[in-house]
């Protein structure tokens, strides 16, 4: 019997397959992903696929359909159950699996869900995802003898591995953690029992309704509960995770938020003491100060495209030991596997903070200062967002502007820089600007706004604020 399936084209994203449950993604799609991806694995001579899922309400049913599809392609499926996405990456690496799939909606709204795919422990993304859609649509999926399935408990081994390199016993810390009712809850609750110091865990119960707040630590409103707890408990810091725990957000001992590139700078300085000259990658949204500081600290900075798949691929190409994105993904290849793991990054941060002579807030205040916008994310239809970028790029080229175009457009001027790129995970555009002074930032944002207006897009109102990069 020939198998054919057509995905909603909007669900086939750059880094994953994702959509609104019941509208653009469902169990039939999950089965088709398992069926087609299993054929890809088999075509590479593989036979084992590891599958996990997050805490969203729709994840168990999608996982079951996914397993059925993979087995129908002859795969031997290892089911690790509910947990963080990095636990799936860990299991895949430990088992040397031929493929892995995580059912997760990450930080998107509760009615969204999706699939992150790994082939031979490397990201499966971009043209590969489009190929998967074409295979399903054309029926280019062979018949196979049914595969097998088995459950595997990996939480214990994952926690043991997280703790193996932990060195944070110089000074016991008082830490507030916020799981956001996401997939980190069970693992983190077990992990903190084995850490020195005092640890208070908020919203540990995995609940796909996300009753406390939305699980996206890049949005300040989602950190307010943790900030209040840090101040109330006089904690050393607070650490929050997104829905599948591959991204983190951090606040210092005063409850002030550290931006993700500030966190990368702190981690980079520490790592470069052990690995002088190491390559460190930051995404195109990152402050110029970070690249300058990596150089000053003896490292080799590399600017690259945003997106966890792009980062992991670039790390493998360059041999980089550390990478980070403004979205809160942190990637360690130093003593770790090179994938984005917010739990591991959190432990590395605890190591750093435990060795400080003073509070984390003193480090934050001592960082170089610039004036920047927050990350500006505003709606733009999926069918239009890339055209807007192309139009802006053409006009900038005609004007002779200094542009980095590895991911959208990053325009450099004597005032600083501004960035405009299309989100690969949402129907939106993303912008940011950083100036040497407030007046410089005003000129940069005016130029950005003018370019958007010429393409029929309005830059949303925002409050510029000084950020200590």
- What is the structure's pLDDT at 455? 96
> Does pLDDT of 135 surpass 70?
yes
- What is the structure's pLDDT at 383? 87
- What is the structure's pLDDT at 465? 47
Q: What are phi and psi of 54, to 5 degrees?
A: -95, -170
Mean pLDDT of 96-117: 96
Q: State the number of CA atoms in the 13 A half-sphere of 440 facing the CB.
A: 16
Tens digit of each residue's pLDDT (9 = 90 or more) over 147-176: 999 999 999 999 999 999 888 667 999 999
Q: Coil, strand or helix: which one is 318?
A: helix
What 317-323 contacts at long range (C-beta under 8 Å, 24+ apart), as own/partner pairs, is 318/279, 318/281, 319/279, 320/278, 320/279, 320/280, 320/281, 321/271, 321/275, 321/278, 321/279, 321/280, 322/264, 322/267, 322/268, 322/271, 322/278, 322/280, 322/281, 323/280, 323/281, 323/282
- Is 106 known to be catalytic? yes
- What is the structure's pLDDT at 368? 84
Instruction: Compute the residue count for the chain.
Output: 469
Q: How far apart are CA 426 and CA 444, in angstroms?
A: 25
> Does pLDDT of 71 surpass 80?
yes
Mean pLDDT of 351-371: 93
Angle at which helices 27-43 and 59-72 pack, to 10 degrees?
40
Determine how β-strand 112-119 pairs with β-strand 122-123: antiparallel
- What is the structure's pLDDT at 375? 82
> Does pLDDT of 252 surpass 90?
yes
- What is the structure's pLDDT at 99? 98
> Does pLDDT of 469 surpass 60?
no
Q: Which of 47, 106, 287, 297 is catalytic?
A: 106
Q: Are 315 and 323 in contact (CB under 8 A)?
A: yes
Tens digit of each residue's pLDDT (9 = 90 or more) over 407-459: 999 999 999 999 999 987 778 999 999 999 999 999 999 999 999 999 999 99
Residue 464 pLDDT grade (very low, low, confident, very high; cuts 50, 70, 90): very low
CB atoms within 10 A of CB 429: 25
Q: Which residue from 168, 195, 161 is spatially nearest to 336, judged by alpha carbons?
A: 161
Determine how β-strand 409-413 pairs with β-strand 416-422: antiparallel
- What is the structure's pLDDT at 466? 46
- What is the structure's pLDDT at 1? 62
Determine how β-strand 370-372 pairs with β-strand 465-467: antiparallel
> Does pLDDT of 394 surpass 90?
yes
Share of residues in the chain with pLDDT > 90 (%):
89
Q: Are 236 and 359 in contact (CB under 8 A)?
A: yes
Q: Mean pLDDT for the chain?
A: 94
Mean pLDDT of 279-305: 95
Tens digit of each residue's pLDDT (9 = 90 or more) over 371-383: 988 888 899 998 8
- Partners of residue 379 on adjacent β-strands: 428
Q: Coil, strand or helix: which one is 405?
A: coil
Mean pLDDT of 356-368: 94
- What is the structure's pLDDT at 167? 80
Mean pLDDT of 276-293: 95
Tokens of 296: 């000053």
Q: How far apart are CA 179 and CA 192, in angstroms?
A: 12
Q: Which domains does the chain have, with CATH numbers?
A: 9-153 (3.40.120.10), 157-366 (3.40.120.10), 370-467 (3.30.310.50)
Mean pLDDT of 290-305: 96
> Does pLDDT of 392 surpass 50?
yes
Mean pLDDT of 200-215: 97
Tens digit of each residue's pLDDT (9 = 90 or more) over 305-352: 989 999 999 999 999 999 999 999 999 999 999 999 999 999 999 999
- What is the structure's pLDDT at 168? 67
Matching residue, tokens 């001592």? 366
> Does pLDDT of 467 surpass 60?
no
Which helix (H) or strand (E) element contains residue 64? Answer: helix 59-72
């Amino acid at each position: 019997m020939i198998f054919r399936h057509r995905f909603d084209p909007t669900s086939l994203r750059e880094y994953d397959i994702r959509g609104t449950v019941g509208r653009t993604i469902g169990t039939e799609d999950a089965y088709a992903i398992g069926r087609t991806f299993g054929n890809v694995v088999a075509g590479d001579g593989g036979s084992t696929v590891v599958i996990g899922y997050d805490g969203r309400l729709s994840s168990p049913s999608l996982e079951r359909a996914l397993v059925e599809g993979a087995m129908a392609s002859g795969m031997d499926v290892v089911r690790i159950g509910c947990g963080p996405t990095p636990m799936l990456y860990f299991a895949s690496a430990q088992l040397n699996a031929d493929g892995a799939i995580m059912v997760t909606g990450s930080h998107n709204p509760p009615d969204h869900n999706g699939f992150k795919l790994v082939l031979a422990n490397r990201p499966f993304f971009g043209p590969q995802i489009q190929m998967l859609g074409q295979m399903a649509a054309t029926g280019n999926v062979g018949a196979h003898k049914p595969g097998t399935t088995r459950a595997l408990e990996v939480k214990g081994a994952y926690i043991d591995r997280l703790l193996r390199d932990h060195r944070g016993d110089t000074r016991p810390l008082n830490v507030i953690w916020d799981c956001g009712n996401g997939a980190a809850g069970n693992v983190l609750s077990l992990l903190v029992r084995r850490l020195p110091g005092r640890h208070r865990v908020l919203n540990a119960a995995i609940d796909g309704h996300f009753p406390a707040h939305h699980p996206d630590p890049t949005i300040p409103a989602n950190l307010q509960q943790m900030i209040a707890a840090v101040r109330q408990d006089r904690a050393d810091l607070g650490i929050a995770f997104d829905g599948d725990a591959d991204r983190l957000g951090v606040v210092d001992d005063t409850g002030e938020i550290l931006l993700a590139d500030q966190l990368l700078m702190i981690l980079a300085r520490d790592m470069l003491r052990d690995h002088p000259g190491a390559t460190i990658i930051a995404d195109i949204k990152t402050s110029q100060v970070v690249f300058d500081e990596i150089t000053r600290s003896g490292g080799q900075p590399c600017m690259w495209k945003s997106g966890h798949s792009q980062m992991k691929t670039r790390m493998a190409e360059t041999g980089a030991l550390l990478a980070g994105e403004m979205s809160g993904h942190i990637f360690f290849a130093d003593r770790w596997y090179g994938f984005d793991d917010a739990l591991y990054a959190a432990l590395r941060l605890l190591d750093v903070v435990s060795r400080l002579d003073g509070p984390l807030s003193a480090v934050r205040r001592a960082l170089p200062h610039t004036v920047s916008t927050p990350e500006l994310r505003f709606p733009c239809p999926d069918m239009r967002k890339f055209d807007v970028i192309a139009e802006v790029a053409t006009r900038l080229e005609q004007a002779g502007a200094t542009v980095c175009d590895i991911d959208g457009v990053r325009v450099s001027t004597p005032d600083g820089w501004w960035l405009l790129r299309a989100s690969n995970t949402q129907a939106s555009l993303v912008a940011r600007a950083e100036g040497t002074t407030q007046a410089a930032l005003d000129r940069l944002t005016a130029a950005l706004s003018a370019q958007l207006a010429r393409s029929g897009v309005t830059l949303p109102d925002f409050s510029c604020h000084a950020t200590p990069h």
